[in-house]
A and B are shown apart, each in its own frame.
Chain A
Amino acid sequence: MDRFRTIFQYFQSNSESVMNGICGLLALVSVKMYTCFDFSCPCLPWYNMAYGLGIMFVPPVALFLCGLILNRQSLVMLEEWRRPQGRRKKDLAVIRYMCSSIMQRAMVAPVVWIIVTLLDGKCLTCAFSSSVDPEKFVGFANTSLVQVQQLLAKVPCKDDEFMRNNTSRKAVIRYLHCWSQALGWSILLILIIAAFLVRWLRPCVNQATLLQARHWSNYIDIEQKIFEETCCEHSRLFAHKCILHFFKSMREEIKLHSFSSPEAGEGAEGEEDLLRGITDQDQVNKLLKMWYYEKPPLDVCRATQRHPLGQEKSPLPWADSPGTHSKFPQHISV
């Protein structure tokens, strides 16, 4: 449990760590999905190829898109790319850096799926069993073309009635498995060599630009997070002020319409301050009714004088004025 907690805390320590964590999690999910998936080759001439190649390539596309969706930085990058220039220039190198790091992370899960599929061998066996050369295998050598296609298509299904006692079937399967695993290991080797070369040669080319791009992409990410947190904090304070003004205005109205009980004299003045003039059940009910039927305006700078019910309409505080598309937030009066 402790180990899990430390790993969790490490991954949450900064946003790059979080993204690496999500990337790793998605790769594990892809392996788990493959092992849980019940692969059943249709063993029919044209369907085999469609099924085998479909299982090999369609889930990686879905995993790639998932990798893009789950990565918060992709949204940040898109916003930075599409925003109007305003008073802050856009740096294309930063956007390119963010794009390449997002793509690299999103590619991990699909590549893991393809490699696991190839190393397992079932997909390629199913897809290409009809494409092997029948002359190489004794059991299929002297049959007509149509029949051999049908027989070869049934090779991946060991429970099929034609294949149950067929010895050449195992030979075909071993042959195809061998090709599949060779392809799998070769792809893995090529990818690892490519990653190794990129990581080793990168400092030799444009290291200063890289450091700048990394710094500013990190900055944009953090700025976005802090802006969201500040907005949340601001909305809490705004709500607090609005409600205080609402209680104040209720107290004024109650004073105006003499709702307060005549017995609450000077002795109870201290308590009345705490209760803001709402001292009995009727007043509380009226306050609650007011809260529902007439929510206070979203403007804490207005005077606390209230007009009679329903005659006052505040201007919409969230009405957008045209042309306000600058990057900097609008000033809201509090």
Chain B
Amino acid sequence: MDKFRMIFQFLQSNQESFMNGICGIMALASAQIYSAFDFNCPCLPSYNLVYGLGVLLVPPFILFLLGFVLNNNVSMLAEEWRRPQGQRGKDPAVLRYMFCSMAQRAMIAPVVWVSVTLLDGKCITCAFCTSVPVETLGNTSHLGLSQGEMKQVLARIPCKEIYNGQELIANEVAIRYLRCISQALGWCFVLLMTMLAFLVRSLRPCFTQAAFLKSRYWSHYIDIEPLHAARNPPQPEPEQKPHKELRRLQNWFQQLFKLGRSSSVRQRR
């Protein structure tokens, strides 16, 4: 319990730390969900591809959306985007900055899922077992199987207990081959993502540093303005009455806001 409290306190020390913490937790959760998930390849010709690619691609999409849902700044961004201009202009660069930083954090859990899936190898083995090059790895010559029958046999490769094509191609050979391809794809994916992250991070100071500092300041301002008004009044200085008044006012204001909202709901009904 102590360990969690300490980690929690560290993560809450500032907003960015908190968001990085959520990001890290989601990455760990995605690796844990994958290891807890009971992968069962159907071992049927057309179902294998759908199942394998489904497990590879659908959960990352869900995790990406979850990353946005768990990010408290999403509603802030939507509000800033949709508000009428009024007396304060809108800067699309600030909106773009906020969206990009949210998208980058939300991408981490899906990337972890795809990497772990590819490095484990079960999905690709299941999805592409019917595409194994039997001519080079096995012997097709004296068996006289039609295309459809061969596909049926090959589809059972991931299910060792029902595999009946040992004369066509040895089960271990096919699985080793597919797993090797899967792991190669996995490491290439990890390398590609790391390179992309490195380029995004290192090219920014070379080209758009001034615009970046501006966007970062104003996105932080937009972030704290409503929070500041509602939750974090400034520290009162004893000789300056207005600050104390502001804090009392803000507390009262919060209560009125709740009252106003519930009465307007009643009026609409």
Interface window among B45-53, B67-75, B151-159, B249-257: B249-257
* Interfacial residues of chain A within 294-327, with CB under 8 A of chain B in the complex: 294-298, 310, 312-318, 320, 324-325
Instruction: Give chain B's interface residues, CB within 8 Å of chain A.
Output: 2-3, 6, 10, 79, 83-89, 91, 94, 119-121, 137, 170, 172-173, 176-177, 179-180, 183-184, 187-188, 190-191, 194-195, 197-198, 201-202, 205-206, 209-211, 214, 217-218, 220-221, 224-225, 228-229, 232, 234, 242, 245-246, 248-249, 252-253, 256-257, 259-260, 263-264
Kindly report which residue of chain A lies nearest to residue B227, judged by CB atoms.
A239
Tell me, in angstroms, the Cα distance from A238 to B223 when the chains sit together: 13
From A159, which residue of chain B is reached at the shortest CB distance? B172
In the complex, A145 has a CB within 8 A of chain B: no
Known: A75-B205, A292-B83, A294-B88. 8 other contacts (CB 8 A): A40-B183, A50-B184, A62-B190, A74-B202, A157-B176, A284-B257, A292-B84, A295-B86
* A82–B248 touching, CB < 8 Å: no
A9 to chain B minimum Cβ distance, whole angstroms, is 10
Partner of A313, one of B87, B184, B220, B259: B87
Residue from B88, B94, B249, B263 within 8 A of A275 (CB atoms): B249
Residues of A within 8 A of B256 (CB): 281, 284
In the complex the two chains form, what is the Cα distance from A287 to B129 in whole Å?
Answer: 65
Shortest C-beta distance, A186 to chain B (Å), equals 26
Is the beta-carbon distance between B229 and A243 smaller than 8 angstroms? yes
Query: Contacts A5-B6, A239-B224 given: A82-B205 contact, CB under 8 Å?
Result: yes
User: B107 to chain A: closest CB distance in Å?
Assistant: 14
Distance to closest chain B CB from A155 (angstroms): 13
Query: Which of A4, A62, A65, A312 contacts B3 (CB under 8 A)?
Result: A4
Known: A236-B224, A293-B86. A62 touches B209 (CB 8 A): no
Chain A binding site: helix, strand, loop or mixed by DSSP?
helix
A135 in contact (CB, < 8 A):
no
Which of B6, B87, B211, B218 is within 8 Å of A295, CB to CB?
A: B87
Contact (A320, B210) CB under 8 Å given A275-B252, A314-B88 = yes
A55 contacts B by Cβ under 8 Å = yes
B3 smallest CB distance to A (angstroms): 6
> Would you call A243 and B225 a contact (CB within 8 A)?
yes
C-alpha spacing A24/B209, complex, angstroms: 30
Q: Which residue of the partner chain, among A37, A62, A292, contacts B191 with CB atoms under 8 Å?
A: A62
Residue among A284, A313, A315, A325 making CB contact with B253, cutoff 8 Å: A284
Chain A residues with CB under 8 A of B88: 294-298, 314
A residues less than 8 Å from B214 (CB atoms)? 318, 320
Flag if A316 contacts B91 (CB, 8 Å).
Answer: yes
B172 touches A276 (CB 8 A): no
Q: 22 A-B Cβ contacts within 8 A?
A: A40-B121, A41-B176, A42-B177, A47-B177, A51-B183, A54-B187, A62-B190, A62-B194, A78-B202, A78-B205, A157-B172, A160-B173, A239-B228, A239-B229, A276-B249, A285-B264, A293-B86, A294-B86, A295-B88, A296-B87, A297-B87, A314-B87
CB distance from B49 to the nearest CB of A (A): 22
Chain B residues in 8 Å Cβ range of A96: none
Question: Does any Cβ of B come within 8 Å of A263's Cβ?
Answer: no
Kindly provide the distance from the CB of A311 to the nearest chain B CB, expressed in whole angstroms: 9
Task: Report if A242-B225 is in contact (Cβ < 8 Å); known contacts: A285-B264, A295-B86, A318-B94.
Answer: yes
B-contact 0/1 string along A240-254, CB 8 Å cutoff: 101110010000000
